[in-house]
Amino acid sequence: MTQVVVIDYGMGNLHSVSKAIQAVSSSESIVISSNTDVIKAADKIVFPGVGAIKDCMEAFSVDLRETVLEEIDKKPTLAICVGMQMLLKSSEENGGVDCFDILDGKVTKINASKEIKVPHMGWNRVKFLKEHDLLENIPDSSFFYFVHSYCCSSSEDALTETTHGESFISCLAKDNIFAVQFHPEKSQDMGLELYRNFLNWNI
């Protein structure tokens, strides 16, 4: 039985993510855990995150941080929202924060105006730049649900882009890692399809 662990480091909408994955699971075991042994034993990793990135980065114990970084390096991993941002090089949020530097790119504030509201909250199109297994059966320019004030505007690992005033990267992919700025668990059918693709993803 494939075991999928949703990383619990005290931040993130863990139960919403877990329930969405369970909704499309056939025989997989879905667990929420901060136990390093459970994380090491898992076949796949989901790395969620909500809130301020500094708080998220500081929420890790030393052991949990080391284990998560080791396992993300070798197992199929889906990172969501701030989970995605933490995998980049740095963020200008909270006066500047060094991130895990696993994916290419930096996180910057979305430029607000009378027409462009920040935080970016609601449905928006996700335009494909490349093909990927996790985008299978999802039409190009499908709508997904976003809630964020910071974004990655460019990356060598860019897979999709979205426009909210300016264009930003809404999905990144590198080797065994797939990272999204939007919330699949809030994105109805297309979000469930992405979770289903993740469960079927073989590296």
Residue 20: per-residue pLDDT: 96
Residue 26: per-residue pLDDT: 86
Virtual torsion, Cα 109, 113, 115, 118, nearest 10 deg: 40
- Catalytic annotation on 183? yes
Query: Residues 151, 164, 185, 193: which is the catalytic one?
Result: 185
Residue 135: per-residue pLDDT: 98
d(C-alpha 167, C-alpha 138), whole Å: 20
pLDDT averaged over consecutive 10-residue blocks of the chain (203 residues)?
A: 92 90 92 96 95 93 95 97 97 96 97 91 98 97 98 97 97 98 97 97 87
Exposure of 118 in the CB half-sphere (CA atoms within 13 A): 12
DSSP lists the bridge partners of residue 97 as 91
Residue 1: per-residue pLDDT: 79
d(C-alpha 100, C-alpha 32), whole Å: 22
Query: Residues 56, 81, 151, 152: which is the catalytic one?
Result: 81
Instruction: Write down the pTM of the prediction.
Output: 0.96
Q: Which domains does the chain show, CATH number per domain? A: 3-200 (3.40.50.880)
- Catalytic annotation on 115? no
Residue 43: per-residue pLDDT: 96
CA distances to 63, 83, 111, 118, 168 from 134, rounded to whole Å, are: 30, 17, 29, 28, 19
